[in-house]
Amino acid sequence: MLEVNGRRYALPSRPTVIVCVDGCEPDYIAQAVAGGHAPWFKRTLAAGTALIADCVIPSFTNPNNLSIVTGAPPSVHGICGNYLFDVESGTELMMNDPQWLRAPTILAALSAAGKACAVVTAKDKLRRLLGHGMRGICFSSEKANAATVEEHGIDRVLELVGQPLPDVYSAALSEFVFAAGVALMRTRCPDLMYLSTTDYIQHKHAPGTPGANAFYTMMDGYLGALDEMGCVIVVTADHGMNAKTRLDGSPDVIYLQDRLDGWLGAGRARTILPITDPYVVHHGALGSFATVYLGDEDVSRTMACIASLPGIERVLTRDEAASAYELPPDRIGDVVVVSERSTVIGTSAAKHDLSALEVPLRSHGGVSEQRVPLIVNRPIAGLDETQRWRNFDAFDLALNRAQ
Amino acid sequence: MLEVNGRRYALPSRPTVIVCVDGCEPDYIAQAVAGGHAPWFKRTLAAGTALIADCVIPSFTNPNNLSIVTGAPPSVHGICGNYLFDVESGTELMMNDPQWLRAPTILAALSAAGKACAVVTAKDKLRRLLGHGMRGICFSSEKANAATVEEHGIDRVLELVGQPLPDVYSAALSEFVFAAGVALMRTRCPDLMYLSTTDYIQHKHAPGTPGANAFYTMMDGYLGALDEMGCVIVVTADHGMNAKTRLDGSPDVIYLQDRLDGWLGAGRARTILPITDPYVVHHGALGSFATVYLGDEDVSRTMACIASLPGIERVLTRDEAASAYELPPDRIGDVVVVSERSTVIGTSAAKHDLSALEVPLRSHGGVSEQRVPLIVNRPIAGLDETQRWRNFDAFDLALNRAQ
């Protein structure tokens, strides 16, 4: 047994694959299964274990991937967004460097225990965080052509996978993750493999639409191949996804920095959108979660102003948010703001380039995107389906209950 | 000016059409507009008035249609579902007879003031409630062939409309409503027309899917025709719609009567589903709202048991529910139960015939289906978009602000 972040894990006795499907609102699977587009999922839901779990808030990619691989909430691992305001240096910066990680990963512990591990992510932004402290294979689809044995534990990846380097904004970026997973399992047989996709499709295509169903058919085929090789497979997600549009199909945005500037004076408060990253084409940096640094301004009066805006779901103080969502209090603002199912939060209108949004916005970040699937391709006896399952129970189910 | 249920309405100075699109989650319109399937909506949203409003809870058809035509919540008009437990007689019965209506309609007041009124509904269940006390034309698509001058104010409807009698479970049932509306406006030019469709399509097809877009294209054409005739048009809805399925596409049902029987003993409590009506093929009588009559059982202990079930959103006492949702306290149970976005409430598993559900269940009834469009084909100056708009503000906007 290993102990990581206060939880105990058995070593895998057979090849085990944990899959994080980015933006996998449960209805994507329900619609694909009901429409006959996902035969592996249909068989697995009937014969295996099918739970609905809660992801961590903010319902963004990096906090949730790190929760899954540490088995712990952001209050433990420290990654509460892509982007933060560093109070010490007084600057806004990306949180994708392992210096921000406060907890070891289960992957690192498994590799230290002599188990062969492999990680494939879609975008490179996650690679260094997921692979921190881990010996083994760790690369991204995005930069698969640049993988070296020294840094990534593998080279000649395009040759191994037999697919060209995919565009960073494409369904192929995620397909490459699965194709690489199957090729790695065939040729290297890792004990533990972690696969993490991108939500390019989910940001554009609603559950049950042809574009979404085609993506789940693709995934279904690769998961079926891994299953045939005898793998224990757990499928979960980092967050769900909802339409965030006005009636005319334009994004339903609350420009919070503009509102704060109006109430308090320009620049008195600072709005941070933890969704912010270099890849903004499919969501325009618009999600349903923001934190606000207020300096000397009155916290409760400002909170009341924010709460009065239509489309706002919750406004919490730093301490309330740290407690409610298990967040590191030193990395969030004085106030945390969550918007509703159909609304996103922006900073200033002038700072968001929405010209690349080709279809009505779908996005995430809020409590309305907290439900995610948690599927195991094995039946598990005596499971309490009424407990609150989390996506970061994935390794516990895979290693302790499904071997 | 008329006064009805404490609100004042100007008489219409031009032909006015109020449309209640059954199950019109706002995203149906956003997706149809964004996909280029609804040119009239696109023009109207840009040039007219586009609001999001809250419907009344329970988010069912009859309570909301009656709220729209009375301009008041169910606490005033008394219609809080299709189905109720009549404490006096100790029987469960349908609430579609005007004897249950406690308030006059704006339609009745307009007709008494000498204005020509016409009502077309899809299903006959609503006809007598909507037409109560009103002189003029009032018929349903479902029984259009049986309309008589004596009872419905019109006969030979199929001939007028030029379409065959539609099946009660079809998109054509709603198309007949619009086709009849256009034919009536061309031939009879009513001062006020109320059109109310059925949600057969919305129960089966998600926003943005081909089946949904085709329905909104159909509607768009008829609304465009009414607009060209110079009508003031207000489009709203009775409720939204959400997928209510497990991962495998089967309905995600909490069988509340079975749970209550388990906790309290068989038949000690009585679960009433106000969605119940004779037309159950497309939802199996499964919605996200129930009331419970507890007899001598302990209310707070039972409420705590119900609240502990996964998928339950709110559990309120009769008084709390009457206050929160503006319901008539004498027509709801000791406890009101609302389930979450992805969950529906049943009575006993044995009492629901789900064999007719051909596609994954979509349904309504809860707070998660409360948002609806409120669109006027005229710009309205000085409108407060941050106030809480209700679908039952439709007549106020049409008659007082848009003439």
Q: What is the ipTM of this complex?
A: 0.89
- Give me the residue from A31, A359, A371 closest to B360, CB to CB: A31
In a domain, A248, yes or no: no
CA distance A345 to chain B (A): 16
DSSP A21: -
Contact predicate A392/A70, CB 8 Å: yes
- Give me the residue from A26, A248, A249 closest to B247, CB to CB: A26
Residues 6+ apart with CB under 8 A from A290: A256, A271, A272, A273, A274, A336, A337, A339, A345
CB contact under 8 A, B248 and A52: no
Asked if residue B207 and residue B59 are part of one domain, the reply reads yes
CB contact under 8 A, A50 and B342: no
Asked if residue B106 and residue B20 are part of one domain, the reply reads yes
In a domain, B248, yes or no: no
User: Residue A102's CB: how many other CB atoms inside 10 A?
Assistant: 17
Q: Give the confidence band of A386 by pLDDT, cuts at 50, 70, 90.
A: confident
CB contact under 8 A, B385 and A310: yes
CB contact under 8 A, A309 and B386: yes
* Number of residues written out for chain A: 403
In a domain, A275, yes or no: yes
CB contact under 8 A, B247 and A375: yes
Enclosing H/E stretch for A292: strand A289-293
pLDDT of residue A382: 92
Contact predicate B397/B380, CB 8 Å: yes
Read off the pLDDT of residues B191-243 as tens digits, 9 standing for 90 and up: 999 999 999 999 999 999 999 999 999 999 999 999 999 999 999 999 999 99
- Give me the residue from B27, B248, B359 closest to A243, CB to CB: B27
In a domain, B131, yes or no: yes
Enclosing H/E stretch for A152: helix A149-152
Residues 6+ apart with CB under 8 A from A248: B30, B33, B42, B45, B46, B50
- What's the average model confidence in pLDDT over A321-348? 97
CB contact under 8 A, B371 and A342: yes
In a domain, B247, yes or no: no
- Tell me the average pLDDT of chain A: 95
Pick from A237, A260, A198, A248: which is nearest to A360 by CA?
A248
| Dihedral-angle region of residue B156 (phi above 0 means left; psi in -120 to 50 means alpha; beta otherwise) | left
Domain count, chain A: 2
CA–CA dist B135, B126 (Å, integer)? 16
pLDDT of residue A380: 97
Residues of B in contact with A371 (CB under 8 A): 342
Chain A interface residues (partner B, CB cutoff 8 A): 26-27, 29-31, 33-34, 41-42, 45-46, 50, 52, 206-209, 243, 245-249, 308-310, 342, 359-360, 371, 373, 375, 385-386
Asked if residue B225 and residue B126 are part of one domain, the reply reads yes
In a domain, A295, yes or no: yes
Structural domain range at position A153: 2-240+370-401
CA–CA dist B6, A63 (Å, integer)? 52
Residues of B in contact with A339 (CB under 8 A): none
Contact predicate A210/A32, CB 8 Å: no
Chain B interface residues (partner A, CB cutoff 8 A): 26-27, 29-31, 33-34, 41-42, 45-46, 50, 52, 206-209, 243, 245-249, 308-310, 342, 359-360, 371, 373, 375, 385-386
- Residue A196's domain is classified under what CATH number? 3.40.720.10
Asked if residue B338 and residue B225 are part of one domain, the reply reads no
Q: Give the confidence band of A283 by pLDDT, cuts at 50, 70, 90.
A: confident
- Residue A40: closest C-alpha in chain B: B248
Asked if residue A208 and residue A76 are part of one domain, the reply reads yes
- Residue A246: closest C-alpha in chain B: B30
Asked if residue A280 and residue A209 are part of one domain, the reply reads no
CA–CA dist B155, B143 (Å, integer)? 11
CA–CA dist B269, A297 (Å, integer)? 53
Contact predicate A122/A174, CB 8 Å: yes
Question: Which of helix, strand or coil describes residue B93?
Answer: strand
Contact predicate A311/A252, CB 8 Å: yes
Asked if residue A278 and residue A233 are part of one domain, the reply reads no
CA–CA dist B130, A385 (Å, integer)? 45
- Residue A335's domain is classified under what CATH number? 3.30.1360.110
Asked if residue A113 and residue A25 are part of one domain, the reply reads yes
Asked if residue A353 and residue A380 are part of one domain, the reply reads no
CB contact under 8 A, A359 and B34: yes
pLDDT of residue B47: 97
Asked if residue A163 and residue A24 are part of one domain, the reply reads yes
CB contact under 8 A, B249 and A375: no
pLDDT of residue A351: 87
Instruction: Count CA atoms within 13 Å of residue B33 on its CB side.
Output: 19
User: Given a cut of 90, is residue A144 above it in pLDDT?
Assistant: yes
CB contact under 8 A, A33 and B247: yes
Question: Which of helix, strand or coil describes residue B187?
Answer: helix
Q: Is B88 exposed, middle or buried (0-12, 13-18, 19+ CB in 10 A)?
A: exposed
CB contact under 8 A, B30 and A245: yes
User: Given a cut of 90, is residue A193 above it in pLDDT?
Assistant: yes
Asked if residue A226 and residue A293 are part of one domain, the reply reads no
Asked if residue A65 and residue A7 are part of one domain, the reply reads yes
CA–CA dist B74, B5 (Å, integer)? 12
Contact predicate B371/B349, CB 8 Å: no
Residues 6+ apart with CB under 8 A from A178: A195, A197, A218, A219, A222, A223
Contact predicate B341/B315, CB 8 Å: no
In a domain, A330, yes or no: yes
User: How do the pLDDT tens digits run along chain B, 403 residues long?
Assistant: 999 999 999 999 999 999 999 999 999 999 999 999 999 999 999 999 999 999 999 999 999 999 999 999 999 999 999 989 998 899 999 998 999 999 999 999 999 999 999 999 999 989 999 999 999 999 999 999 999 999 999 999 999 999 999 999 899 999 999 999 999 999 999 999 999 999 999 999 999 999 999 999 999 999 999 999 999 999 999 999 999 999 999 999 999 999 999 999 999 999 999 998 776 656 788 999 999 999 999 999 999 999 999 999 999 999 999 999 999 999 999 999 999 999 999 999 988 888 878 889 999 999 999 999 999 999 999 998 788 999 999 999 999 999 9
CB contact under 8 A, A245 and B27: yes
In a domain, A247, yes or no: no
User: Given a cut of 80, is residue A253 above it in pLDDT?
Assistant: yes
Residues of A in contact with B33 (CB under 8 A): 247-249
Q: Give the confidence band of A281 by pLDDT, cuts at 50, 70, 90.
A: low
Contact predicate A10/A228, CB 8 Å: no
pLDDT of residue B43: 98
